[in-house]
Amino acid sequence: MIITTIKEMQAFADVTRAAGKTIGLVPTMGYLHDGHASLIKIARQQADVVVTSIYVNPTQFGPNEDFAAYPRDLEGDKKTAYAAGCDVLFVPDDREMYGKTCLTTVQVKKLTDGLCGKSRPGHFEGVTTVVGKLFNIIKPHVAVFGQKDAQQALVIKRMVQDLNFDIRIIIAPIVREPDGLAMSSRNKYLSPAERQDALVLYRALQKAQSSIRNGETDAAIVIQAMTGMIAAIESARIDYVQIVDAETLETVNRIQGSVLVALAVFIGRTRLIDNIILNN
């Protein structure tokens, strides 16, 4: 089933809840791959009815980013979503989601200051606003997000906590290609040569993991080693390579407890992100 209007989606959610059934939500921007399918499968295990939203949200893109070019394939998305166990696709357009004008936004402070928030100003305000709207439209009991967008996952969890949304948030593991590249809709942009170059992101994370497991606790040393690996790739341009506290996202100098090793790297013109959580 495909639903395109807010009114119909809310009515469906009301009927579903009245019948005593639970709703699971997987918010996406479409162009679904096996990573998205893994989220839908988790939602399928957790809820009676699974809704996948497909909406390329303009408010989370910067003026020079790839909103217009972002890949779209609704027919392919239908096949992937239904095969993974989705019951309903919610596919609104911009006018449906925002009307003629929208004067209200949702902002989570502090957690959005660094990492992708620093290099993409306004991005997370767009994310939290649209996710908040989706929560009110679809009325899920549980929502599933991916660990690949680690900062986004923490921001959403904090929004749910602070605004008292009665929704359980599940963060699912990163799904990787056989060679280690994190699955992403933006991988489509990569040329064959860039696709090989992109493997340096995962190799750099593996290097960090090995160094920390071997006893290195100086974050600067680990970051330097990762940066050197990435800089050796001609097509690569580093946005950031950071080690932060896994809960607060504050920069750490000494690696102890749970840390998030996160990076964003341009391979050619394509910006890719990846991360790993390590406990020391």
Strand partners, 174: none
Strand partners, 51: 25, 88
Sequence-ordered list of residues with C-beta below 8 angstroms from that of 120, at least 6 positions apart, any chain: 62, 65
Active-site residue (options: 33, 36, 123, 141):
36
Q: What does the block give as tokens for 67? A: 């909103």
Strand partners, 258: 279
Burial group, residue 135, by CB count within 10 angstroms (0-12, 13-18, 19+): buried
- The answer to whether 3 touches 89, Cβ cutoff 8 Å, is yes
- Rg of the chain's alpha carbons, rounded to an integer? 19
Catalytic status, residue 123 = no
Going through 135-257 in order, the beta strands assigned E by DSSP cover 142-146, 168-172, 236-245
Provide the annotated active-site residues. 36
